[in-house]
Structure 1
Amino acid sequence: MTHSLRLTHLVVRVAVVALLAITAIGATAALRAEAVVEQVPPGAARAMWVWDTSNPQAVVDLAVARGIGQLYAAVPPNVGSSPQLAQLTQLSTLARQKGLRIDALGGDPGWVDDPTWVVDNWLRPAIATHLFSGVHVDIEPYATPAWQTSRSTVVRKYLSTLDTLVKAAGTVPLEADIPFWLDEVPAGKSTLDREVMRRTKGVTVMAYRNTAAGPDGTIALSAKAVEAGTALGVPVRIGQETDDLGTDPVEVKQTFHGFTVAQMEVQLDQVVAADSSSPSFAGLAIHSAAGYAAMTP
């Protein structure tokens, strides 16, 4: 999830004459990848959340085919004794062979109530595997019931948790996911988005919309995070959703589920064009591998 997250600029050209079959993550359907020529602009190397690590080869094939340079791979607690360790070992090996960075992904709203447990049972075991270049946390404290009744307390506990994790991680860089609206949440004399950035080596802002432009588009929603990242010297990725979230109009507008890859790229190109000149812009992140694999070209 390097200390400064200055990622190598990727220029990916994938030409496939025949159909390339890639096993879809968590399903038996095959992904059809047709001839694609894609250039990833400078500063726009992509990352991808991988919650299902059961098919490492499919994940890496998907990443290579679609210009992904970094994987956030889900790691269970006490991974050293977990059956998932074999999958993660293979995923790390295959990813590194293709020049991909892989970071340990984890998080739960309940982490804010017991960060010591997180360090002992998740963080240190994950780092001890030596499979990952960094740590990427997706804690989402706003999903706790206490967020509605005692938000300031949850904010304080969340930041304390990040402090604990960063200290325990030592030289291993730690990044965090944040929603686009975190700039509206007070944190002392600052705002929560900026306090998270001050503690981490980078953030991925979840600005989930299937349109780039307009007042409710990805560009506008992520603008405050990109500005804050520039002010604080912290890299900011912009997250985009591909999973099926449901049929409610609010859910539908948050995801590219049902789009083709080509249709999604039209919107993503606009995001990159709008933000590539910003010093903090570190590219896009796709959530998640399963939804992305299911999309047709």
Structure 2
Amino acid sequence: MNDRKQALLNSLQHRRKITVIMVLLISLGILTTTTFMGGGKEEVKATWIWDVEQIQENPEKTISFAKQQNVNLIYVHVSIKDFSPKLYRSFIEEASKQDINVYALGGDPTWALTKNQDSMDKFVSQVKNYNRVVSDEQKFEGIHLDVEPYLLPEWKKNQNEVIEQWMMNTATVVDQAKANTELAVSGDFPFWVHKLNVPGSSQKVSEWMLNKLDSITIMAYRDYTEGTNGIKSIVTPLVNQAHQHNKSVIVGVNVIDTSEGSHTTFHGNKPGQMANELDKLEQQFNDHGGYAGIAIHDYKHWKTNVH
């Protein structure tokens, strides 16, 4: 076991953030969640970058903001149609210098349907092909999926069928991504995913996803931590579930102006409110094995609306 652990650590020397390394080790059974989440752990602080113009115009400025905010993981969008390797090489290399990992972000609700598996395959192949020809400091460390099949009209018509296809596509992506690579695979999920059953089983979809993926990020879009329907309340079932499966979850919050209700976003809130609420969340879950950290959605809006 020690030899296996050392071999893995040696192969991951280019990885800049110890948290991601530990998550991979946990998934291989080399470390336990208790060991990983013990004293002195470095928690994840992530953000999404959907608008790649943000990194094209001034990658140094983007990384500087991320560093100031203690971000150590960025999900950056990769388009199948419009992919510029040069753009990502310079951005990831700059992030690497600041000990920030970068995951290739991709997703569409239709990716939950097997008829669109080819689109997912192209995305994964594009990331893998890119990683083959760049230096270690310019590589994507993982793939992050944002699929959200519940936005599809098919979800209302036949939810179980969509769930089955979603699971099939997820399994295929994981297998493809990990074939001959060290890519981590993670994804975004609604805070109520633990209420969904795997069709024909008592197992929850969240449990299945936790076991299949290296990490999951929960979209816990609320602007307060404590109380009924607060962040702590809605994520606790998943944090506990993750711990039971020797995994951990990242808790995502929103700063985008949205029509879904002011309680779902920190947009427009008083300065310092988001920081205060996230401090409360940290205090609640600091020693919990199922809690990995937070993620802010998204960078473009966060940088103009710092709380």
Q: Same fold (TM over 0.5)?
A: yes
C-alpha separation between the residues in 2 aligned to 1:83 and 1:237? 28
Cα deviations by residue, 1:93-149 (Å, 9 ceiling, x for unpaired): 111111100001111111122353134311111122123001110110111111101
- Establish whether residue 142 from structure 1 lines up as the match of residue 142 from structure 2: no
- Establish whether residue 182 from structure 1 lines up as the match of residue 185 from structure 2: no
Residue number in structure 1 paired with 2:125: 124
Residue number in structure 1 paired with 2:135: none
Change (3 A) 1:150 1:3: farther
Residue number in structure 2 paired with 1:293: 303
Residue number in structure 2 paired with 1:163: 171
TM-score in terms of structure 2 length = 0.79
Question: More strand by proportion, 1 or 2?
Answer: 1
Change (3 A) 1:260 1:85: farther
Partner of 2:292, secondary structure, is strand
Cα deviation for residue 88 of structure 1 reads: 2.0
C-alpha separation between the residues in 2 aligned to 1:140 and 1:83? 23
Residue number in structure 2 paired with 1:72: 75
C-alpha separation between the residues in 1 aligned to 2:21 and 2:42? 16
Residue number in structure 1 paired with 2:280: 270
TM-score in terms of structure 1 length = 0.82
Query: Percent sequence identity over matched residues?
Result: 22
Letter in 2 for 1:63: A
Residue number in structure 2 paired with 1:152: 160
CA contact (8 A) 1:166 1:200 kept: yes
- Establish whether residue 102 from structure 1 lines up as the match of residue 102 from structure 2: yes
C-alpha separation between the residues in 1 aligned to 2:253 and 2:127? 26
C-alpha separation between the residues in 1 aligned to 2:249 and 2:230? 17
Structure 1 stretches lacking a partner, 5+ long: 8-40
Q: How much is the aligned-residue C-alpha RMSD, in angstroms?
A: 2.0
Change (3 A) 1:6 1:138: same
Question: More helix by proportion, 1 or 2?
Answer: 2
- Establish whether residue 89 from structure 1 lines up as the match of residue 89 from structure 2: yes
Cα deviations by residue, 1:18-61 (Å, 9 ceiling, x for unpaired): xxxxxxxxxxxxxxxxxxxxxxx844330111111213223212
Partner of 2:276, secondary structure, is helix
C-alpha separation between the residues in 2 aligned to 1:284 and 1:65? 16
Change (3 A) 1:132 1:260: farther
Structure 2 stretches lacking a partner, 5+ long: 1-18, 26-39, 132-138
